[in-house]
Structure 1
Amino acid sequence: MSTVGEVSRGRTKIVPTLIMLAGTLYCLLPVAWVFLAASKAPGELFHSFTLTFGSGLLDNLGDLFSYDDGAYGMWALNSLLYAGVGGLLSTLVSPSAGYAMAKFEFRGGRIFFVTILAGLLIPGITLAVPQYLLMSDLKLAGTQWSVLLPSIISPFGIYLCRVYAASTIPSEMLEAARIDGASEWRIFRSVVLPVMVPGMVTVFLLQFVGIWNNFLLPYLMLSDTRAFPLTVGLNSLLQRGSGSPSLYTLAIIGAALAIVPLIALVLFLQRFWRLDLIAGGVKG
């Protein structure tokens, strides 16, 4: 009977594993296609089996960075500006707001929390047009500020930091710091922030990836091609590709290069989550 039970449990584990493998292939195949297609010469892209390496990678890179006087490099710098600065500012705002909501009682705090939850339920696409109208009233539409400012506030980041602060920062530790004469700013800087580093890293990563991949907001806000991020710039390449098929190759290799910083960022930041797990194991 035990042997039959073990076989049954083994078969039960196989099904979730197969589902996970199928999901992994579903997610990775498009990425593999982009990297392999980026190595194809323009004449090879539509006339050869795509899931093989081509011979035009270096030529494609040269054509990409020389296109329109180095427009791709400018788009990449703009994406780094929007995602980097927006992610950093959001990482400063989110733990401050989340910690205050978790550890302080103040008038209107519950209303503020419900508003944050409502922000989680509203799709970002529905806010793009109101944000554009607001930036137009402020005379900021068409500038880089129109993309940066809406990226600072992240309802999900604030909610995540609130949950993280409530679960990892004991109120007794804060009271002990206050008894020792520490100001609220010093408590936040020296006690709270070091504990919230893993949560802040998560907020930064999610916000960076979200801003880096954002298309609709900069598409509505910006009209100057020199201020485009990669998403909008590559879309303009695809639109022009209908009259010049060689631009499809540039758009594909541009998309492949745009994935590399995200992969590097995840690999670099994962050590902070590992350190948090190790610290949790030591405390246990």
Structure 2
Amino acid sequence: MTLVSEDRDSGRAAARRSGATAVAKAGGPGRPPLRHRIITRSLLAVAAVYFLVPVYWLVVSATKNTEGLFGTFGFWFADPRPLEYLGDLLAYEDGIYVRWFANSLLYAGAGAVASTLLSAAAGYALAKFPFPGRETVFNVFLAGVLIPGTALALPLYLLFSEIGLANTYWAVLVPSVVSPFGVYLCRIYAAAAVPDSLLEAARIDGAGEARIFFRLVLRLMTPALVTVFLFQFVHIWNNFFLPLVMLSDSDLYPLQLGLTTWTGYADRQPVLYQYTVGGAFLSVLPLMVLMGVLQRYWRTGLTEGSVK
């Protein structure tokens, strides 16, 4: 019996050792096989190169003058003087680029904030307040996601012309406030992340609906709101067609429309090539900073432990 027990124990130990060896070769418990990880990281590396190479080219080109843009290797520096060239860009035509930059910040910042709040309110109402026709209203918002913005630009221009708001800041700001995708995302997120029991507890404690929304719901929906804000900010910042249709005064132009205008005159004024490249480089900096600052709010589990 003793010998049988010893043989059985030694067999179990050998099985454990072989299992541990197999797990180690696989990369640890719960980890995918090594070949899958290699393939995944290789694809991610290729994607990173694909997206970062244009940014690198933009950084290098922003340090060159017009002759350097066309006469030197595009992916390496040649007599870099970025501060001098960017200073010339900012001083061109009494600082028209600075005005375009400020206009873009106004359009994108104010439009994204207003759109986020409106989307949060609409999504929360559609998720937590039953009323007749709720699903119909939600389906209308879903249909709005499928309509491209370019298809609405001309009708919006005719409408704003009738009320005298064409060629004003409002002509770009007001259409930017509406985001069907933001409403859809906030409705889905509010239904999952805002517990009904927590809302009932707040109402029993005497909190009004406005206080519940601003003090409780907005905090619980922070990841969704950050997503909506970033999507809408980037969309407005890069929007070209709506300002092209709505605006005729160059002082009201956003960056994208202003830089495109410069490229139309670059054949007669070659220095505009350099200014356009430098302006494009500066235009991506706010998006990079915003993404770096707000990405920490993309986390889950905000309501964990709030309801027992």
User: Structure 2-normalised TM-score?
Assistant: 0.86
Distance in 2 (alpha carbons) for counterparts of 1:56 and 1:92:
43
Amino acid at match of 1:215: F
Deviations 1:41-95 (A, max 9, x none): 2211111111112323122112101111110000000000000110111111011
Alignment of 1:64-143 (within 5 A): 64-143=89-168
Q: Which runs of 5+ in 2 are unaligned?
A: 1-17
Give the RMSD, CA atoms, in angstroms.
2.1
Going from structure 1 to structure 2, the CA distance change for 1:161 and 1:213 (only over 3 Å counts) comes to: same
Query: Are 2:64 and 1:40 equivalent residues in the alignment?
Result: yes
Going from structure 1 to structure 2, the CA distance change for 1:167 and 1:133 (only over 3 Å counts) comes to: same
Task: State the Cα distance separating 1:281 from its structure 2 match.
Answer: 7.3
Instruction: Name the residue aligned to 1:168.
Output: 193
Distance in 1 (alpha carbons) for counterparts of 2:45 and 2:228:
28
Distance in 1 (alpha carbons) for counterparts of 2:227 and 2:63:
33
Amino acid at match of 2:72: S
Amino acid at match of 1:162: R
Going from structure 1 to structure 2, the CA distance change for 1:278 and 1:171 (only over 3 Å counts) comes to: closer
Q: In the alignment, is the contact (CA less than 8 A) between 2:103 and 2:253 conserved in 1?
A: yes
Task: State the Cα distance separating 1:240 from its structure 2 match.
Answer: 0.7
Amino acid at match of 1:189: F
Task: State the Cα distance separating 1:271 from its structure 2 match.
Answer: 2.3
Residue in structure 2 matching 1:10, options 25, 34, 39: 34
Distance in 2 (alpha carbons) for counterparts of 1:183 and 1:76:
41
Deviations 1:183-217 (A, max 9, x none): 22222122212211222122111111111111111
Deviations 1:117-163 (A, max 9, x none): 11111222222222222212222111110000000010111111111
Alignment of 1:1-284 (within 5 A): 6=26, 9-54=33-78, 55-273=80-298, 276-277=299-300, 279=302
Task: State the Cα distance separating 1:168 from its structure 2 match.
Answer: 0.6
Distance in 2 (alpha carbons) for counterparts of 1:220 and 1:194:
38
Task: State the Cα distance separating 1:39 from its structure 2 match.
Answer: 0.4
Distance in 2 (alpha carbons) for counterparts of 1:10 and 1:154:
43
Equivalent residues, number: 281
Distance in 1 (alpha carbons) for counterparts of 2:60 and 2:303:
41
Distance in 2 (alpha carbons) for counterparts of 1:225 and 1:253:
19
Going from structure 1 to structure 2, the CA distance change for 1:283 and 1:20 (only over 3 Å counts) comes to: farther
Which has the greater radius of gyration?
2
Distance in 2 (alpha carbons) for counterparts of 1:17 and 1:128:
42
Q: In the alignment, is the contact (CA less than 8 A) between 1:99 and 1:165 conserved in 2?
A: yes
Q: Which runs of 5+ in 1 are unaligned?
A: none
Q: In the alignment, is the contact (CA less than 8 A) between 2:111 and 2:236 conserved in 1?
A: yes
Instruction: Name the residue aligned to 2:4.
Output: none
Identity of aligned residues (%): 47
Deviations 1:208-250 (A, max 9, x none): 1111111111111100000000000000111111222221010
Q: In the alignment, is the contact (CA less than 8 A) between 1:41 and 1:57 conserved in 2?
A: no
Task: State the Cα distance separating 1:181 from its structure 2 match.
Answer: 2.5
Q: In the alignment, is the contact (CA less than 8 A) between 1:147 and 1:217 conserved in 2?
A: yes
